[in-house]
């Protein structure tokens, strides 16, 4: 694994479903643990004396899988919000859809790129783009042009705070075409088959990419397959309400499948090869549908003691954009403190606190006010003066 594991940006407003927020929170924590584990591995810490090595290993190496969980969540929430807002995907207001995505994504993205550009020009360690085929203009163009993944596949990994933008390239490329396809096909009978084909193509798409490590992890098609899975789930949730018992059983099925991938993905890989990723996306979808339907049935109760994790889920976009600043700072502090591997686990709780505080600050001072202002301006333009 490299700096490849990033959450995606869903609507600014949280899902308002505690189960979905909890799943998002778990995924973003796994991303942060992955990037910390690359530098301060838990399996080399004192925790190895009290916890099994395989568990510590999985806590550090599920960041990539967590990104695909985010892709499914993104498709489910954004398509579901569109269905509630316009009644059907064929009635999407393209201008409003793009305005919402722009208002959600662009302010924080531009702020991040500005900071990263300054840090590169100042020569700050961990932020300098140094590969021969890479440059600051090239990285900026890739980030704004939604092809960081392709840029890295050609030139190599970017520094960590740049690299996390690969998943945003995939997600936003999908949503550029999504409303247009919905308007073109219009009827669910025409829209569902290509979405289903795309969703089920995930194992074969990955299998065809072996040979380029970066492109295997970051290619458009597999990521879009996971997003399509979430969109299909939103359509199903809109069209059908099963009995409460069915929703509960679906939740257990999803939890079992997701747990199998996250806790023993290696075994599933030997058995299913790239098909294990399909188990991951379908399991995530089962959990989302279960949370959604149980909420309608009034059967969703927030788990006590996990409010902090739900808060992480609600700030997943802000945390994903900024968490590498915390990771780099803490790793440098750990090394300056002596770099003792045995006590490395002590830096993880501090990372959780700092990542949340930074994400909350960005949400309060940048993303929320900018999003409100841009939505008002883009969706309710001032009348022209003749």
pLDDT digits (tens, 9 = 90+) for 92-131: 999 999 999 999 999 999 999 999 999 999 999 999 999 9
Report DSSP letters for 210-254, one per residue.
Answer: TT-HHHHHH-HHHHHHHHHHHHHHHHHHHH----HHHHHHHHHHH
Contacts of 23 (CB under 8 A, 6+ apart): 69, 73, 284, 287, 288, 291, 313
More confident residue, 91 or 265: 91
Report DSSP letters for 27-67, one per residue.
Answer: HHHHHHHHHHHTTS-GGGSGGGGTS-HHHHHHHHS-HHHHH
Contacts of 385 (CB under 8 A, 6+ apart): none
What's the pLDDT at 210? 85
Q: What is the torsion angle, in degrees rounded to the nearest 10, for the CA atoms of residue 353, residue 359, residue 360 and residue 364?
A: 160
Task: Determine phi and psi for 16, rounding to 5 degrees.
Answer: 60, 20
Contacts of 102 (CB under 8 A, 6+ apart): 374, 378
Residue 19 near residue 46 (C-beta atoms within 8 A): no
d(CA 284, CA 288): 6
**Other beta carbons less than 10 A from residue 157's beta carbon:** 18
Upper half-sphere CA count for residue 197 (Cβ side, 13 Å): 4
pLDDT digits (tens, 9 = 90+) for 158-212: 999 999 999 999 999 999 999 999 999 999 999 999 999 999 999 999 999 988 8
d(CA 45, CA 164): 26
pLDDT digits (tens, 9 = 90+) for 304-319: 889 999 999 999 999 9
**Other beta carbons less than 10 A from residue 337's beta carbon:** 11
Report DSSP letters for 122-170, one per residue.
Answer: TT-TTS----TT--HHHHHHHHHTT-HHHHHHHH-PPPHHHHTTHHHHH
pLDDT digits (tens, 9 = 90+) for 242-267: 999 999 999 999 999 999 999 988 78
Upper half-sphere CA count for residue 258 (Cβ side, 13 Å): 23
d(CA 294, CA 296): 5
**Other beta carbons less than 10 A from residue 126's beta carbon:** 15
More confident residue, 380 or 186: 186
């Amino acid at each position: 694994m490299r700096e490849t594991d990033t959450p995606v940006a869903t609507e600014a407003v949280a899902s308002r479903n505690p189960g979905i927020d909890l799943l998002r929170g778990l995924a973003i924590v796994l991303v942060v643990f992955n990037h910390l584990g690359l530098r301060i591995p838990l399996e080399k810490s004192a925790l190895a004396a009290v916890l099994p090595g395989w568990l510590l290993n999985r806590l550090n190496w599920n960041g990539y899988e967590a990104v695909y969980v985010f892709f499914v969540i993104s498709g489910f929430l954004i398509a579901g919000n569109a269905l509630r807002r316009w009644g059907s995907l064929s009635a999407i207001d393209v201008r409003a859809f793009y305005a919402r995505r722009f208002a959600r994504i662009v302010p924080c993205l531009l702020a991040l790129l500005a900071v990263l550009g300054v840090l590169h020009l100042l020569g700050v360690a961990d932020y300098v783009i140094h590969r021969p085929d890479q440059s600051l203009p090239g990285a900026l163009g890739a980030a704004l042009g939604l092809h960081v993944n392709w840029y890295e596949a050609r030139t190599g990994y970017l520094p960590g705070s740049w690299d996390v933008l690969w998943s945003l390239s995939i997600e936003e490329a999908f949503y550029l075409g999504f409303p247009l396809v919905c308007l073109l096909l219009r009827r669910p009978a025409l829209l569902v088959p290509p979405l289903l084909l795309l969703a089920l193509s995930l194992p074969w798409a990955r299998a065809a990419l072996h040979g380029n490590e970066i492109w295997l992890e970051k290619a458009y098609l597999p990521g879009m397959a996971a997003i399509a899975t979430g969109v299909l789930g939103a359509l199903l949730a809109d069209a059908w309400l099963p009995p409460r018992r069915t929703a509960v059983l679906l939740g257990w099925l999803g939890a079992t499948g997701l747990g199998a991938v996250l806790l023993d993905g290696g075994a599933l890989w030997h058995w299913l090869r790239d098909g294990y990723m399909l188990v991951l996306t379908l399991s995530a979808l089962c959990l989302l549908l279960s949370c959604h339907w149980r909420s309608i049935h009034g059967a969703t109760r927030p788990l006590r003691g996990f409010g902090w994790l739900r808060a992480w889920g609600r700030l997943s976009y802000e945390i994903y954009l900024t968490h590498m600043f915390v990771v780099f700072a803490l790793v440098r502090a750990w090394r300056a403190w002596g770099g003792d591997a045995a006590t490395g686990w002590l830096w993880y709780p501090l990372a959780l606190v700092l990542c949340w505080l930074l994400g909350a600050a960005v949400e309060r001072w940048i993303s929320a006010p900018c999003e409100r202002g841009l939505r008002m301006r883009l969706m309710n333009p001032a009348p022209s003066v003749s």
